[in-house]
Amino acid sequence: MAVISIERMGLLSVVCVSLFFSSTFAVDRGNFKTCDQSAFCKRQRALKPGQSPYRALLETLELSDSRLTLQLINDNNKVHLLLELYRLQGNMTRVKINELKPLKPRFEVPDVLIAEPPTEPLSVLSKDDNGVVLSLGAENQRLIVSARPFRLDIMEGPEVLLSLNSRGLLAFEHLRLHKDTQAQADGAEVKESVDGDQQQDEGKKDEDGESEKEEDGLWEETFKSHTDTKPNGPTSISLDFSLPGVEHVYGIPEHADDLKLKTTDGGDPYRLYNLDVFQYELYNPMALYGSIPVMLAHNTQRTMGIFWLNAAETWVDISSNTAGKTVFGKMLDFVQGSSEKPQTDVRWISESGIIDVFIMLGPKPSKVFSQYASLTGTQSFPPLASLGYHQCRWNYNDQEDVKSVDQGFDQHDIPYDFIWLDIEHADGKRYFTWDPHKFPQPKEMLQGLMDKRRKMVSIVDPHIRVDSGYKIHNEITSKDFYVKNKDGKNYEGWCWPGNSGYPDFTKPEMRAWWASMFAYDQYEGSMENLFTWNDMNEPSVFNGPEVTMHKDALHGKWEHRDIHNIYGLYVQMATAEGQIQRSGGVERPFVLTRAFFAGSQRYGAVWTGDNAAEWDHLKISIPMCLSLGLVGVSFCGADVGGFFKNPSTELLVRWYQTGAYQPFFRAHAHLDTTRREPWLFGPENTALIREVIRQRYALLPYWYQLFYQAHKTGMPVMRPLWVDYPKDTATFTIDDEFLIGSDLLVHPVTEEGSRGVTAYLPGAEEVWYDVHTFQKHNGAQNLYIPVTLSSIPVFQRGGSIIPRKDRVRRSSTCMENDPYTLYVALSPKKFAEGELYIDDGHSFNYDTKKEFIHRSLTFANNALTSSNLCPDCNFLTSSWIEKVLILGASKPSKVLLKMDGKETPVDFEFDTSMSVLTLRKPGMNAGADWTLLLQYQRYFQC
């Protein structure tokens, strides 16, 4: 293949040599900016905490019932800003700051909020010369606007929950004319670009009126060989947030780092700038493929969120007054009572746009999730099949290859749902086409998969080959849909096909046209079981600055600088819309994306990009997906096996065991790696992989129900422990294990040659059952679990009921009518509850026609009852309950099924050693009302 691809790359090869075949395995850090190399970040970061030069002009205060406006003035440069405050429904506050009279409009990010957030009335409690006190509603919450210097504090009772500009880092670089065009631009005015002149030591320097030349990068900035022309000059913004009482902050993906965010003192801030990072490094704050500017703050009392709605390059600094302290030091403080309250300070810096912040006040984690969901929407409800196993590789070479891999799964009796085609499937990387030699009959191939009730994904990237013989290119050109360079010509850059254009996905007309390209008659060779993968949508531009688009490229009147981080979202949005439209709005789409932004959860799945076959990459997949889950993106996964390099067999098996318990479960491999379909590593390893994939399929009803829940409520599917145990500080930094929903605890084995893992079982009141042995363990303990290569430590929470489909099939679709087994894990109080959700698995009928079954399952007082959570829903299933396992039960004398007014005895078995009661074939329909009654001797005597 090397021969072919090198030839095919043609001119591209030169670029690719340096970018894609670097001889050592590590990111080339030099390709990406540090804060120091990003002029605005350097400028802003040079500004140290101190007194803010901003003052609120209270006399300008205007209050409509839901909106308060107030002007701010920077006493150094006299530039006026407009502050808008909104109290939003669901316990949120929105803070917007823009220039009062900007030279021209500043960019405000559209299409992220699902609607204009509904507001609630604000009322002024008190007002004097020093400020205004506003009521935030029932919970004794107030918003205090201090005038001089300007700051905002949100209080609950006597406690400050969060302060804005308390460190004086509000900095708003107003739009200005270039000194070339405005001769009388005075030095102070220009210098004020960093706004705050409050630093005494630097103050003098400022007054000297040093010319703008001193301040590099205001009107032009060069990185490596790329010059950013910055026709609008400096436009960056910054604001600080203080979180008293908070020691743990999370979120702001995507970073290959721990779940708990670290302080950034002495290092670079966390960077949010969607980039195609070749062979990314772990445990650092460098930017990756996607950006979600949402941070959660958590302590035992409260969880809050900060959503910084800005799509430009953004850096986030975190500092903490307890960061340097050891546990002992903290203890000492505590004992001596001399401790200052722990506090985390956060500072957001963005290159352009406005300040538009949503403060989500929780207080419970679930509340923060629903608050954020109310703003940006919830996880799309994926087709059931997409929760199955995905087999991918760059590349499945041809139709014959696809067929033989497909047969391989049957031959080895391993289920799978999707087989994927990477870039080589298209004719010369012209997406929406097929290589005529390798894939001459795509429909025949798709039909073959359909006969097996399986599906396929083909890649459709947003870079379009500039080729006058290519329909897609010609149409985009003729409709003038390409992104423009600073000179107004079509922007061109290098990507897989060579010279490529980039459609302007920020244009609604462009997105509509793109969506129409997925129609069956447009995308030739496509069928209803073909879905889509959007890669390289950061966008990746091989020869661009930091492997992405030039910031001075133009999207209509906006610069790429303004919209960069949302480009990828738009690509997936348009693609998902295309899939919906092709079915006449009936079928749910499935689209995987690499780049993402706040709101991307509405359009499909996300994966963690081009990872590597290394143990550390397996480990990092957990915090990376946990972080995404916290900020709305539940459908997350990492390439199983690792994309670059060849995994050892042990690593591959462990990765399957981990991936099977993560939301998006796809194996993928680089072109240069050796083949690694599950059966290529000897019968023992095939058996191990088969077993774990089967475990995944057995749990599909649970996964599906959790995704339904995520779709309805915004609750993450894969969660950090603290989400369910918010008061248990031991859980706050755990990111080597996680919860699936509330009821499954997974501690994957991610160490080479591991003989045991120590899992933390949370909850002093809880018991946890090993799902393989049914052995019961108490909560709030560190449990050492000896492991072999076949072990996957998974526990079901006592008090939960998990429906499974234990029958082994070839694909999830084949399981449609299979019966359920209910795993009822009793709490110490002999109680358990769960849910069962069933629909057709693929259409929007659950939404449009209420065609679904949603049942509540409750075990209490020795009776397991199924009751209807949606009485006005209608959906018929032929699935039934074949078995009920009650873990932690005692042996009844009799079991009765009560249904339709009749009572029938049910056979059962009891395993004394593990206290497992198995009810044999109760047989009721999964959608029916029923009660299973366990009778004990004393009742029997009556």
Does residue 62 belong to the site contacting another protein (CB under 8 A)?
Answer: no
Please check whether residue 311 is in contact with residue 109, taking contact to mean a CB–CB distance below 8 angstroms.
yes
User: C-beta of 413: minimal distance to another protein in Å?
Assistant: 6
Return the number of other C-beta atoms located less than 10 Å from residue 575's C-beta.
29
Nearer to another protein, 156 or 672 (CB): 672
The stretch near another protein (CB under 8 A) out of 121-129, 219-227, 608-616, 809-817 is 809-817
Backbone phi, then psi, for 677, in 5-degree steps?
-60, 155
What number of CA atoms fall less than 13 Å from residue 109's CA on the CB side?
33
467 in catalytic set: no
Q: Which two tokens stand for residue 47?
A: 């500004």
Residues 367-396 that bind another protein (CB under 8 A): none
Note if the bond before 663 is cis, omega within 30 degrees: no
Does residue 883 belong to the site contacting another protein (CB under 8 A)?
Answer: yes
Residues 903-922 that bind another protein (CB under 8 A): 920-921
246 residue type, one letter: V
Query: Binding residue for another protein (CB under 8 A) from 140, 182, 411, 893?
Result: 411
Residues 767-806 that bind another protein (CB under 8 A): 806
- Order of strands across the sheet that contains 852-860: 902-905, 894-899, 930-935, 863-868, 852-860, 832-839, 800-804, 820-825, 881-887, 916-920, 907-911
Does residue 882 belong to the site contacting another protein (CB under 8 A)?
Answer: yes
Q: Which two tokens stand for residue 249?
A: 């902050």
User: C-beta of 884: minimal distance to another protein in Å?
Assistant: 12
Nearer to another protein, 77 or 812 (CB): 812
> Could you give the CA distance from residue 435 to residue 421 in angstroms, rounded to a whole number?
11
> Could you give the CA distance from residue 712 to residue 727 in angstroms, rounded to a whole number?
25
Positions of E strands within 492-631:
492-495, 498-501, 530-534, 554-555, 558-559, 591-593, 605-607
Mark out the alpha helices in 184-259 (DSSP H runs). Answer: 187-191, 200-207
> Could you give the CA distance from residue 115 to residue 375 in angstroms, rounded to a whole number?
7
Nearer to another protein, 93 or 879 (CB): 879
Nearer to another protein, 59 or 451 (CB): 451
User: C-beta of 1: minimal distance to another protein in Å?
Assistant: 5
Does residue 6 belong to the site contacting another protein (CB under 8 A)?
Answer: yes
Does residue 555 belong to the site contacting another protein (CB under 8 A)?
Answer: no
> Could you give the CA distance from residue 668 to residue 642 in angstroms, rounded to a whole number?
7
User: C-beta of 669: minimal distance to another protein in Å?
Assistant: 9
Note if the bond before 254 is cis, omega within 30 degrees: yes
Does residue 407 belong to the site contacting another protein (CB under 8 A)?
Answer: yes
Nearer to another protein, 558 or 823 (CB): 823
Nearer to another protein, 511 or 694 (CB): 694
Give Cβ neighbours of residue 396 (< 8 Å, ≥ 6 apart): 402, 405, 419, 420, 421, 422, 425
Nearer to another protein, 102 or 448 (CB): 448
Query: Binding residue for another protein (CB under 8 A) from 80, 330, 452, 777?
Result: 452
Q: What is the dihedral of CA 553, 556, 559, 563, to 10 degrees?
A: -110
Nearer to another protein, 80 or 809 (CB): 809
**Of 887, 875, 880, 881, the residue nearest 918 (C-alpha):** 887
Q: Which of 535, 728, 736, 806 is catalytic?
A: 535
366 residue type, one letter: S
**Of 351, 315, 72, the residue nearest 233 (C-alpha):** 351
In the beta sheet, which residues pair with residue 306?
295, 359
Please check whether residue 232 is in contact with residue 263, taking contact to mean a CB–CB distance below 8 angstroms.
no
Nearer to another protein, 216 or 684 (CB): 684
Query: Binding residue for another protein (CB under 8 A) from 78, 437, 557, 938?
Result: 437
Query: Rounded to the nearest 5 degrees, what angle is found at the Cα of 540, between the Cα atoms of 537 and 545?
Result: 140
Query: Binding residue for another protein (CB under 8 A) from 46, 124, 671, 876?
Result: 671
User: C-beta of 925: minimal distance to another protein in Å?
Assistant: 14
Please check whether residue 636 is in contact with residue 347, taking contact to mean a CB–CB distance below 8 angstroms.
no
Query: Binding residue for another protein (CB under 8 A) from 57, 175, 808, 928?
Result: 808
Does residue 443 belong to the site contacting another protein (CB under 8 A)?
Answer: no
Nearer to another protein, 21 or 283 (CB): 21
Burial profile 410-422: b = 16 or more Cβ within 10 angstroms, e = fewer: eebebbbbbbbbb
Query: Binding residue for another protein (CB under 8 A) from 4, 115, 138, 942?
Result: 4
User: C-beta of 448: minimal distance to another protein in Å?
Assistant: 8
Does residue 848 belong to the site contacting another protein (CB under 8 A)?
Answer: no
Positions of E strands within 478-595:
492-495, 498-501, 530-534, 554-555, 558-559, 591-593
Residues binding another protein: what is the number (CB under 8 A)? Answer: 42
Does residue 404 belong to the site contacting another protein (CB under 8 A)?
Answer: yes
What number of CA atoms fall less than 13 Å from residue 206's CA on the CB side?
19
Query: Binding residue for another protein (CB under 8 A) from 232, 314, 813, 915?
Result: 813
703 residue type, one letter: W
> Could you give the CA distance from residue 270 to residue 252 in angstroms, rounded to a whole number?
8
Does residue 401 belong to the site contacting another protein (CB under 8 A)?
Answer: yes
User: C-beta of 932: minimal distance to another protein in Å?
Assistant: 16
The stretch near another protein (CB under 8 A) out of 273-281, 358-366, 668-676, 934-942 is 668-676
Does residue 818 belong to the site contacting another protein (CB under 8 A)?
Answer: yes
Query: Binding residue for another protein (CB under 8 A) from 486, 807, 894, 898?
Result: 807
911 in catalytic set: no
x/- contact string, 675-704, with another protein (CB under 8 A)? x------------------x----------
Return the number of other C-beta atoms located less than 10 Å from residue 5's C-beta.
15
The stretch near another protein (CB under 8 A) out of 96-104, 401-409, 500-508, 625-633 is 401-409
Does residue 417 belong to the site contacting another protein (CB under 8 A)?
Answer: no
**Of 887, 881, 911, the residue nearest 832 (C-alpha):** 887
**Tell me, what DSSP letter sits at residue 503?**
B
User: C-beta of 808: minimal distance to another protein in Å?
Assistant: 4
The stretch near another protein (CB under 8 A) out of 141-149, 406-414, 557-565, 724-732 is 406-414
Nearer to another protein, 331 or 671 (CB): 671
Does residue 23 belong to the site contacting another protein (CB under 8 A)?
Answer: yes
Q: Which of 610, 735, 806, 839 is catalytic?
A: 610
> Could you give the CA distance from residue 630 to residue 656 in angstroms, rounded to a whole number?
23
Does residue 816 belong to the site contacting another protein (CB under 8 A)?
Answer: yes
Does residue 84 belong to the site contacting another protein (CB under 8 A)?
Answer: no
| Residues in contact with another protein by the rule CB under 8 A | 1-4, 6-7, 21, 23, 397-398, 400-401, 404, 407, 410-411, 413, 437, 451-453, 671-675, 694, 806-810, 813-814, 816-819, 882-883, 920-921
Q: Which residues are catalytically annotated?
A: 535, 610
